[in-house]
Amino acid sequence: MFYYLFYWINLKYNPPGFDIFRFITFRAAAATITALIISFYLGPKIIDYLKKKQIGESAKLEAPKNHLSKAGTPTMGGLIVIGSVVIPTLFWGDLKNIYVILVLAVTIWLCAVGFLDDYLKVVKKKKKGLIGKYKIAGQVLIGLLLGSVIYFHPIFAKFNSVTTVPFFKDLVFDFSYLYIPVVIFIITATSNAVNLTDGLDGLAIGTVSISFLGLAVICYVSGHEKFSDYLNIIFLPGSGELTVFCAALVGAGLGFLWFNSYPAQVFMGDTGSLALGGALGAVSVLIRKELLLPILGGIFFLETLSVLIQKVYFKYTKKRYGEGRRVFKMAPIHHHFELLGWAEPKIVTRFYIIAVLLAILTLTTFKVR
């Protein structure tokens, strides 16, 4: 909105200084600040409303016993995050840009799926929330939409099914006819991976924000002809606008962390985690950096892998020895460290450090090849 308003004012009246509003870097910075302000404004209001309506987290039996004290903490706080991402993107982004339209569609859709799941659990008191197959169906549907638009829309025709291969110069991989199923898998996997990570105060929102800070840089250079040529990566005209979305998410993440840091005043719930994970996958797909996800989103990859290893090993040992055995004390892996005696803030801080290192490693892949 502001983008078009200031563009019109600059075009019609040409006041001094107004030319700055066409620059992505300025609008990204403005989106970050706007998101931070909105989250600080919305946070207390939504938290108070959730408390008044007694919309709180129920005790989780699959978590360590010390988590029982978290029961009753307001949940569905993802509304704070997503609201603080969407509004600044609408203010400062180019709403005619197909990259922005697609990432907003994925984010809002998965927020709605997560909201329905949380609503059924905490308001309607249905223990399992949204039935698993319906949740997966929602993720698959938006992945199908995203993959189909990228594969068939003329604007993506030149690179509709290819992706950059990390650490290799001038090498791209073509998914060909498998592209749409791959996109569906990525959206489903990333949204669930962030959901699994959201088990400690501040863990998911902090690591997601770090990942999006790295993505903001990659989006900017991918949409900049000179920088993409210098770094020898695929130039994607228009993809630079995703920088505004990523920057807004970083600001919203910092704002939400204010309320979600230990001890948390609010949890994001599936309302936030599914949407943020889906957005992470969508941006990576749109800028052709899908294969960087295991590095940039290494924390989420590790959390998911720990759950898979635990389940597979438990089933294997139960079949072979008659009793299930475990690799970790508890999965996802952040609970394993809790049961080793690590304090919750220490685990979260160390995961932040790892996330920062992984983001730096991701950015260095553009030169180390």
56 Rama sector, left if φ>0, alpha if ψ -120 to 50, beta otherwise: beta
335-354 burial string, b = 16+ CB within 10 Å, else e?
Answer: bbbbeeeeebeebbeebbee
What percentage of the chain carries pLDDT values higher than 70? 98
Mean pLDDT of 206-231: 96
334 pLDDT tier (thresholds 50, 70, 90): very high
For 108-147, letters b (16+ CB in 10 Å) and e give: bbbbbbbbbbbbbbbeeeeeebbeeeebeebbeebbebbb
Nearest to 101 by CA among 238, 301, 264, 257: 238
* Residue 256 token pair: 């939400």
pLDDT at position 291: 95
Which residue matches tokens 């290799």? 168
pLDDT mean over 52-76: 82
26 to 22, 223, 243, 244: CA distances (angstroms)? 8, 15, 10, 9
Q: What is the pLDDT of residue 59?
A: 64
Does residue 222 sit in helix, strand or coil?
A: helix
Question: From residue 222, how far is each of 85, 152, 232, 289 by CA, in Å?
Answer: 21, 21, 10, 10
Q: How many CA atoms lie within 13 A of 355 on its CB side?
A: 25
Computed over every residue of the chain, the mean pLDDT equals 93
Q: In this predicted structure, what is the pLDDT of residue 310?
A: 97
Q: What is the structure's pLDDT at 16? A: 76
What pLDDT shows up at residue 61? 61
User: By C-alpha distance, which of 220, 226, 254, 329 is closest to 85?
Assistant: 254
pLDDT above 80 (res 111): yes
Q: How far apart are CA 324 and CA 311, in angstroms?
A: 9
Query: From the CA atom positions of the chain, what is the Rg in Å?
Result: 21
Q: Can you give the pLDDT at residue 338? A: 95
* Dihedral angle over CA of 339, 344, 349, 355, nearest 10: 60
* pLDDT value of residue 51: 93
Residue 72, both tokens: 């009753």
Tokens 């207390």, residue? 44
What single-letter amino acid sits at 354? Answer: I
- Rounded to whole angstroms, the Cα distance separating 301 from 313 reads 18
Predicted local distance difference test score (pLDDT) of residue 96: 94
Burial class (CB in 10 A: 0-12, 13-18, 19+), 209: buried
- What's the length of the chain? 369
Q: What is the reported pLDDT for 15? A: 78
Is residue 6's pLDDT more than 80? no
Query: What is the distance between the alpha carbons of residues 247 and 245, in angstroms, rounded to a whole number?
Result: 5
Q: What pLDDT sits at residue 369?
A: 61
Cα 35 to Cα 28, 82, 89, 253, distances in angstroms: 10, 10, 9, 9
Q: Which residues pair with 164 in a beta bridge?
A: 172
The candidate with the shortest Cα–Cα distance to 79, out of 233, 240, 272, is: 272
User: Both tokens of residue 174?
Assistant: 């073509």
**Which of 208, 78, 186 shows the shortest CA–CA distance to 140?**
186
Distance of CA 248 to the CA centre of its chain: 12
